[in-house]
Amino acid sequence: MKMKSKTPRESAVTMTEIVLPQHTNALGTIFGGTVMSWIDIAGAICAGKHARGTVVTASIDALHFVAPIKLGHFVELKASVNSTGRTSMEVGVRVDAENPKTGERYHSVSAYLTFVALDEKGRTIPVPPIEAGTPAEKRRNQAAKLRRESRIQLATEIKKEELKKNS
């Protein structure tokens, strides 16, 4: 039986945090690991909504820190499913920061994560296909497919090199 497709909007997540003193380093900017944790949480919620079940993080394909996030700033994380495989989903997460005193907003981090859906015994299960409708969704879907092809190609090349070393 074919699963009904879903749009990215059906599982999109927006999460807001505030940078507190315990989140910052000696420079008064947020620890990268704190942002990574928030990204993983937003991504997992998004993937879980899409799969309507349990998901686990399989990989973080790319994580780009664009601008520092400072103590006291508001942090908005937006997550959406960019593409799906049979049991996996690529979720893109964009992180914007806002200076609460001036209202200035700026892009600070982008990340792409792969999540896998699991049943109660930890076995992979199928996920609904994604139906990209808007031009932005179609662009993100196409870019996700290119990232997947790149990951597969890299894994193949690494495996070949390992076989050469071991023979």
The confidence score (pLDDT) of residue 2 equals 79
State how far the Cα of 71 lies from the Cα of 25, in Å rounded to an integer. Answer: 9
Neighbours of 130 (CB within 10 A): 24
The H or E element spanning position 34 is: helix 32-51
Spell out the domains of the chain, with CATH numbers in brackets: 8-166 (3.10.129.10)
The confidence score (pLDDT) of residue 21 equals 98
Query: Model's pTM, two decimal places?
Result: 0.92
Neighbours of 127 (CB within 10 A): 24
The confidence score (pLDDT) of residue 164 equals 87
The confidence score (pLDDT) of residue 3 equals 86
Per-residue pLDDT for the chain (167 aa), expressed as one digit of tens each? 678 999 999 999 999 999 999 999 999 999 999 999 999 999 999 999 999 999 999 999 889 999 999 999 999 999 999 999 999 999 999 999 999 999 999 999 999 999 999 999 999 999 999 999 999 999 999 999 999 999 889 989 999 998 888 87
